Structure 1
Amino acid sequence: MKTILSLAAAMLVFLSSHAQGFLRTAGTRIVNEKGDNVLLRGVGLGGWMLQEGYMLKVYRQGQQHKIRARMEELIGKERTDEFYEAWLANHTTRADIDAMKAWGFNSVRLPMHYRLYETEKGFTITDSLLAWCKANRMYLILDLHAAPGGQGNDLNIADRDGSQPSLWENEAHQQATVAFWRKVAARYKDEPWIAAYDIINEPNFGFEDPVNDKNGIKETKNEPLRRLMMEITKAIRETDQRHIVIIEGNGWGNNYNGVLPPWDSNMVLSFHKYWNYNNEQAISYMIRYRDQYNVPIWVGETGENSNVWFTNAIRLLESHNIGWAWWPLKKIGVSNPLEIPSNPDYQQVLAYWNEKSAPKPSAETAYRGVMALARATNFRNNVVHRDVLDAMLRQPSDPGTLPFKPNLIAPGAAIRAVDYDLGSNGYAYYDTDTANYRVSDPKHTGGNRGGAYRNDGVDIRSDDGLFITDIENGEWLQYTLNVRKQGKYTIRLEVAADSLPGKVSVETNGAVKAATVPVGQWQWVEVKEVPLKRGVQKLRVKAVSGGYKFREIRFEN
């Protein structure tokens, strides 16, 4: 009996690993072995194999090799090696992939650094990730994020040394890139849960005019890019006929001039979408390519914006059957599903690296700080941002509200102002400046100006405890209350106005009552005789005239 059970368990594992078969293209769709449409909803593991400075709050010399060199200057080579081992071991684990599956994602994009694959280490890490994905029935996209020599003039994204020849200026680098993919394809050719090979991430190089168009946005021919991607595809097809090959245009993935038509029958065009409007015009050029060449399109990277932008982008893309991989899963900061918390010792390191006048921390301080940061990358130490996940996975189809906290209300209860409901702008809250559209309009750079706690348009700061700031006329916040005792309550609001008094109103059960916010530091204003019914109901706090800060709500008889 034990042997039979073991065989049955093994068969279940086999079936779960192979039930969907290899993904492939079918006209403009990505489909599974049965021909069912597969809409990839995924997240990129940015910062794991390849650190980009901004993810670590390093704003000067942000390439990984420079960060590593500066760390060695502080704590020595042996301890720096220890940090990077801890970073790779902690940053992404089975717990991350399990969580992604539970939240509702179906795919993972792995940004690969070619140097890790010069030894077996990169493959060992990838094998583990693939096993976690298979166990969760999630697709894995392999993405060459840092190619030999670096694929563009945006140095951080490819860990490029700008003083050395790039990928495009050195034949040996190009052949090493081809050899990399030949080796990857030979190893993973029989793995159906690998969805595709994303062969060069974000090329950004000016072939025709390297001085005035260094990132290749205006490139008209892109001949070196097309030629190398064709060579890579040929190398892959020597051993692997089944996996999708994903290509990207120049100019950070979006300039396909001269790159097309496609040269392979199982190919997907990727484009990256950041800081532009979420309207039909923003993606129309890729829709035209899709229809002209009868090939699927996919957004290999997008994100780094507000929840409003996330919801609208996903709604737009999915209305056109375009899958996506968000960027990134985690970093220091709130605009991701997971946040890596910083620590005071690491803040001293950052000050030294980012500010010319900051003192150099001691070796022990720096070591404590960077090792604490490496441990903080582990899922169990991350901050889960429910608001980001809700904006990505529920709100595109359901903009309505959910309580952010239980908010059980009886005399003496309190709610933090920042714990307003989950939901879209105009439903859970109303903010006048909700997202960053700087690519479409350089003047339109909204979002959470304080950068703390949540990722909506609502401005939240943390320098004096969590509070809402930059409140403008007409903005409001909604709170779902679960009232234990019916009655008329005095609602006290903790507020602070700067140079001009504000006016705030409280609305619930059809009653609207207002109070003035006088100029001064933190103080309490009262709104009396607010009727609350027993049970669940909505409370809205509205800025009749803004200009003040808001920290807490208290409920009293």
Structure 2
Amino acid sequence: MQLKRHYAVFALLALMVISSVSAAGLANSSANKQLPMLKAKDTFIVDESDKTVVLKGCNLGNWFAMEMWMMHIYDEKIKDQYTFESVLAARFGEEQKERLMDMFRANWITERDFKIIKSFGMNCVRIPIYYQLIEDDANPMKLKANAWKWMDYAVDTAEKYGIYTILCLHGAAGGQSNMGHCGVCDQNKLWDSESNKKRTIWLWQKIAERYKDRSCVVGYDMLNEPWGVSMEKQIVMFDSIYKSIRTIDKKHIIFVQGHGNVEELPDPKEKGWKNVAYSIHCYPGIFGWGRPTPETQARFLKIDLKRIDKQLKKYNVPFLMGEFNVVYTSAGGGEMMRRHFDAYAHYGWASTMWSYKVLTIPGEKRRGYWEMVTNKEPLPKINFNTSSLSEIENYFKFLSSDYIIYEELKKALTQKNPPAPLADPPPPPDPIKTAPFRDKLIGWTATDIGDIIPGGQKVYSDSKIDIYGCGADIYLSKDQFRFIWKKIKGDCEISATVNELSFVHMFSKAGVMIRGDLSDDSVFVMLNARPAGELEFACRYHRAEHVKTDGHLGHDFPGINLKLVRKGQTIESYHSKAQGQWEKFMTVTLPDLPKIAYVGIFCLSHDNTQLVKASFDNIKCVMYNEE
């Protein structure tokens, strides 16, 4: 998925008009004639007769590169594909694990899915791949016995329905970032390991050997969302992969992916790169650009795309918007997705939305859609750490059961007439450089944690406060934020309603916290909202450790209620919307949390050059055991 931290928050989201489709209700289509080979020419992708081909499609996420949130798995012991497969191998043995993974793949995507994709008016799928589909760590640089079984099936079946494929290495050996969608969380060991780099180059050579003559394959997306090292190191790796592929295959397009923009990529002519296309992933209203509103989408589509196009014309290179999604109904839903596809097509760009399929809880109120299809029936109860072999087999078989189709998106993408043009977006607000208020607090104390711009507060009462806070983040081992607190001994409760959080950054935060002390590396637990309304639970178990996080779909502002309850060394978290009942979220035990702790509300901007405004109401701090 995108340049993101992996938050499970995005697994669930919107309430819309939908319809169901039977797993058995789709007849096979007759085979299409061979798709023409595509190539890069100037800023366009063209066929053999130099006719522009606009690719419009989706990602087949979680098929060959798993992301736990897409299967509605929230388990500290199973955070990524590596731990998922490790649990199966430890419980049932390597041979059974491989059989189970084949069963999973056979049911996650079947032939009916390609016909559904075609019915959305799409002609392309991007296929994320984890390197261990083809080789494994026990036998590096050796093809597995069934290395091509699933990729061949994907390419062949897509071609049958007239659908092009883009092959993307989503998880390289060692990992090209620390994100879980690389296969292993918190790793990022590709860049400084000669062995991992050699394995990645070897892998692409093998893929090129296999598919060099397949015209239905558009090309090779070298590395998904590379991150965590300098762009110079990334470009060196891109160049090595490019050259290794070109010794075998000069016909297919090679996609070069920037982390955040195309400006950071080199001019392909200066590198000697031919038949290449550039790519980035953009999620306006989710990962940047502003809140999930039509205005944010309009600003992105009307302003930011012009900047991207200008750079592409300078480089004279085609473009793939490899991942994008509006997600939230508040941002425009399916109709806004049509605007995105149309805008990319206007520039002649290829585009593949994230993602095709996500598992959800039927009937649950949601805020938006990541998916085109989801499960119609309730998810079977499963615990991969304890469930029996037959229970796991039945769960995997369930994955090909009947669907709910996102009909609003399908209608928007296939109707003849495009939506009405968007109004010009308003200019973004001026940044807050100094706190406009520094009212005196009664019963509370304010502290700026870390070396940051001093914050402030507007005090309406001891239970209603607007905080103006700076700070880079509470994520790694050193924190920066503004904290309004009380010292509480023993068991306690802190709750508050967050009514507003101005947009500075997608990871700006406002919430409630229980903290060991006021140092920047203290143990703590917090529950907070972010500007799009998502919730984030985070804690640091031991001093100076990196923070552990989890997420939730969240709520729309205003009226996001957050609560932490301390019981000894255990802290429970709760959330609700407006007058709704509290819903229990995450529970954690912090062995190093002292008896006397700092309890209160906080905010941070995620940008050390400016402040964010967070409006709190119904602030309540209760001490249970007073000694």
**CA-to-aligned-CA distance 1:435-486 (integer Å, 9 cap, x gap):** x997498764269xxxxxxxxxxxxxxxxxxxxx9899xxxxxxxxxxxxxx
1:339 corresponds to which of 374, 384, 404: 374
1:387 equivalent to 2:387? Answer: no
Give the secondary structure class of the aligned counterpart of 2:134: helix
| 1:46 to 2:61 alignment | yes
C-alpha change, 1:36 and 1:375, in structure 2 (3 Å) is same
Task: Determine if contact 1:197/1:244 at 8 Å carries over to the other structure.
Answer: yes
For 1:24, the aligned partner's letter is: K
User: 1:150 and 1:470, CA in 2 relative to 1: closer, same or farther beyond 3 A?
Assistant: closer
Q: Which has the higher contact order (CA 8 A, sep 6+)?
A: 2
Q: How far apart are residue 320 of structure 1 and its match?
A: 2.5
CA shift digits 1:254-291 (9 cap, x unpaired): 36525444532211000101124322333344222211
Q: Which of 25, 32, 44 is equivalent to 2:47?
A: 32
Any conservation in 1 of the 2:262–2:311 contact (CA below 8 Å)? Answer: no
In the alignment, structure 1 residue 140 sits paired with structure 2 residue 157: no
Partner of 2:150 in structure 1? 125
Per-residue Cα deviation, 1:322-360 (whole angstroms, up to 9, x for no partner): 2211111101135311113552422xx38xxxxxxxxxx
Counterparts of 2:40 and 2:60, CA distance in 1? 24
Aligned 8 A contact 1:312 1:396 in 2: no
SS state of the match for residue 387, structure 1?
helix
> Quick one: which of 274, 288, 309 aligns to 1:287?
309
> 2:347 and 2:508 mapped to 1: Cα distance?
24
Q: CA offset at residue 369 of structure 1?
A: 5.0
How far did 1:235 drift? 1.3
State the match for 1:196 in structure 2: 219
Distance 1:236 1:394, change over 3 A: same
TM-score, with structure 2 as normaliser:
0.54
1:234 alignment partner, one of 228, 243, 261: 243
Aligned partners of 1:230, 1:124: CA distance in 2, in Å?
A: 29
Given that 1:149 and 1:161 are in contact with CA atoms closer than 8 Å, whether structure 2 keeps it comes out as: no
Q: How far did residue 292 of structure 1 move?
A: 0.8
Q: Report the counterpart of residue 323 of structure 1 in structure 2.
A: 350
- Taking a change above 3 Å as real, the CA distance of residues 84 and 399 of structure 1, as seen in their structure-2 partners, is farther
Equivalent residue for 1:87?
Answer: 104
- Find the counterpart in structure 2 of residue 407 from structure 1: none
- Cα offsets for 1:288-332 (capped at 9, x unmatched): 221111111110111261352423432432333322111111011
SS of alignment partner, residue 322 of structure 2: strand
CA contact (8 A) 2:172 2:190 kept: yes
Structure 1 residue 205 displacement after superposition: 1.3
- 8 Å Cα contact 1:286/1:297 also seen in 2: no
Q: Secondary structure at the match of 1:55?
A: helix
Q: Deviation of residue 390 (structure 1)?
A: 2.6
User: Displacement, 1:363?
Assistant: 3.3
Once residues 370 and 174 of structure 1 are traced to their aligned partners in structure 2, the CA distance between those partners, rounded to angstroms, is 35
8 Å Cα contact 1:342/1:376 also seen in 2: no
Q: Aligned to 1:265, what secondary structure does the other structure show?
A: coil
Structure 2's unaligned 5+ residue stretches are: 1-29, 136-143, 290-295, 361-368, 422-499, 510-529, 535-554, 559-577, 581-627
How far apart are 1:43 and its partner, in Å? 1.0
Give percent identity, aligned residues only.
23
Identify the match of residue 532 of structure 2 among 437, 445, 450: 445
* 1:121 CA displacement: 2.4
**Residue identity in the other structure for 1:287:** D
Q: Which has the higher helix share?
A: 1
Residue 91 of structure 1 aligns to which amino acid in structure 2? W
Say if 1:239 and 1:80 are closer, same or farther in 2 by CA, change over 3 A. Answer: closer
Check the 8 A contact 2:268/2:274 in 1, yes or no.
no
Structure 2 counterparts to residues 527-538 of structure 1, below 5 A: none
1:170/1:498 CA distance change after superposition, 3 Å: closer
Task: Indicate whether 1:377 and 2:399 are aligned.
Answer: yes
Q: Is the 8 A contact 1:25 1:295 kept in 2?
A: yes
Equivalent position to 1:101, from 76, 95, 118 = 118
Alignment of 1:418-457 (within 5 A): 439=506, 444-445=531-532
**Residue deviations 1:70-97 (CA, integer Å, cap 9, x gap):** 4556677665444322101111222211
What number of residue pairs does the alignment pair up?
375
Conservation of the 8 A alpha-carbon contact between 2:201 and 2:244: yes
Unaligned runs of 5+ in 1: 1-11, 208-221, 351-360, 401-432, 448-468, 473-496, 500-557
Offset at residue 68 of structure 1 (A): 2.6
Q: 1:117 to 1:72 in 2, by over 3 A?
A: closer
The SS at the match of 2:167 is strand
CA-to-aligned-CA distance 1:29-68 (integer Å, 9 cap, x gap): 1111122211111111110111112112234352111123
The two structures, once aligned, show a CA RMSD in angstroms of 3.5
